[in-house]
Amino acid sequence: MSAIDPITFAVIKSGLDTIVDDMAYAVMRTARSPIVRDVLDYSVTLCDAQGRILSQAKTVALHLGAVPDAMEVIIDRFSADLFPGDVIVLNDPYDGGMHLPDIFMFKPIFSGDRLLGFAVVIAHHCDMGGRVPGSNASDSTEIYQEGLRIAPMKLYERGKPNLTLFKIIEKNVRLPDLVLGDLDAQYATCNIGERELLGLFARYGDALAPYFDSLIDYGETLTRKAIADWPDGDYHFTDYIDGDGFSTEPIPITCKITVAGDHLFVDFAGTSPQVKGAINATLSFAKSATYLTIRCALGHDVPNNAGVYRCITVTAPKGSILNPRMPAPVAARALTGYRVVDTVMGALAQIAPARLMAAGEGGNTVVAIGGYHGEDHKPFVLVDMINGAWGGRSDKDGIEGITNPSQNMSNLPVETIEARYPLLIEEYALRPDSGGAGRYRGGLGLVRQYQLLAQTAVLQLRADRHEHPPYGLFGGKPAASSANLIDTGAGWTPLPAKVTLEIFKGTHIRHEQAGGGGWGDPAQRDRAALITDLRNGKISAQSARHDYGVDL
């Protein structure tokens, strides 16, 4: 093999990064459903012929770390049966997937008969059938209730569509136009990845593969260098989920991070057994949440590729909430992934305190409202993911109105909701006094209040941090807890954190999101920052006195 030229190396790396960015924009511009087009709940990546991630776009990080396990399934199942024009899809959590709304799409990329790699696009679809609109309920009790399961199979074979599979999908979802339209967006994006990777191959030919190897090795080298600078030892942290919707018993997520030279071992022994409700998470998803959190503690120059994963070993007991047995339900598994992020972050804060922030809002809250509306009985499914606040950091306050660090998503605009759904948004605002006090204050959570205009609908709320607020670090205080409220005409009544129920025209639904935890001793907060917060309505005079000991 010829020597690796550093300039060519940088050009190829930048070329791959550009390809995945172009793919990410293509999904956003061609998708049909608001959850993909506006909320940005999708991910794209390029893998080499061995299924190793080469580059990933700045899309949903919680998806991307699960790609290696999905690629293992694809290569194992189809290695002798891949041809130009093939496209493979899957969504089965027990066969390479994560939860049913997330459909993985893989397109093998060939130059002649030679396999060069794979274009991969994951999209959260607005509905996959099952017992409730949106296929996201936290109160399902087995996977069979959650919707259509797609084993790894070809959606296109040598360029020809699998009309049988398309028809099965069409007949099992509530919004086939949107679901099939988003599948078309995934397919078009895979074709863009194929075209651009072939262009790179046309330029560099057989020299490309050694550069791919070197790029992955480079990711590993930088990751190992960073880990080697951390003090060896065991670091423990436990955080909690409020309950699974059936029981209010706290659900512990426990991790031990072992730093051993230039390798990390992350063990979730002591974590809760799998639960009745649908917040169980596949091991691939737990790995993904762990990888992305550790990646947050690394330098910006570390490329997001398979080399990072080589340095991290993640284990979770079989039968636990992070590695469940069939047929455990997993539809609302994202909530558990967020708590994995918070738990790993809490342990990492003991290792690299300047690089980690206090707990954020607990992950986005999902408010799903679905039913039928109008004289034509037209189906509608809103899946609103409310992104809220970061915790305080070692040198800055937490940010508010922003995606959780484990995602790269957006809040759905009020105008989009009111234009597309029989709903009125009565309030959308920051929640004063919700950020944890600290030298650096946690970000404020959001408030979103809805009124139903249709005659009836099914409401699903998937929230958390009611009983276990986001933690602060290094003397910082916890954030305010979250709250769900309903008003059917007799005044506001509290709702559980996780609930599915039928609602009727005129019902008001209100979610008050938790804020982010504080970082550092509140007594050290700059007085000018407190005055600014008071003027901006982020804290009250009462909070200044009670939390900071200052009269303003």
**Mean pLDDT throughout 360-365?**
93
Would you state the pLDDT for residue 325?
97
Say if residue 113 is exposed, middle or buried (CB neighbours under 10 Å; 0-12, 13-18, 19+). exposed
Q: What is the pLDDT of residues 392-424, one digit of tens each?
A: 999 999 999 999 888 889 999 999 999 999 999
For residue range 110-136, what is the model confidence (pLDDT) as tens digits? 999 999 999 999 999 999 999 999 998
Give dist(CA 480, CA 360) in Å, integer: 11
Q: What is the pTM of this model?
A: 0.95
* Residue among 126, 98, 119 nearest 38 (CA): 126
Length of the chain: 552
Residue 104, beta-bridge partner list? 90, 122
pLDDT in tens, 323-336: 999 999 999 999 99
What pLDDT sits at residue 375? 82
Residue in the block written with tokens 């990080």: 61
Percent helix / strand / coil, the chain, rounded to 5? 30, 25, 45
Q: Residue 111: phi, psi to the nearest 5?
A: -115, 105
Query: Are 31 and 37 contacting, i.e. CB atoms less than 8 angstroms apart?
Result: yes
Cα–Cα distance for residue pair 465/365, rounded to 1 Å: 10
Chain-wide mean pLDDT for the chain?
96
Residue with tokens 């172009």: 22
- Rounded mean pLDDT of 423-435? 97
Question: CB of 488 within 8 A of CB of 478?
Answer: no
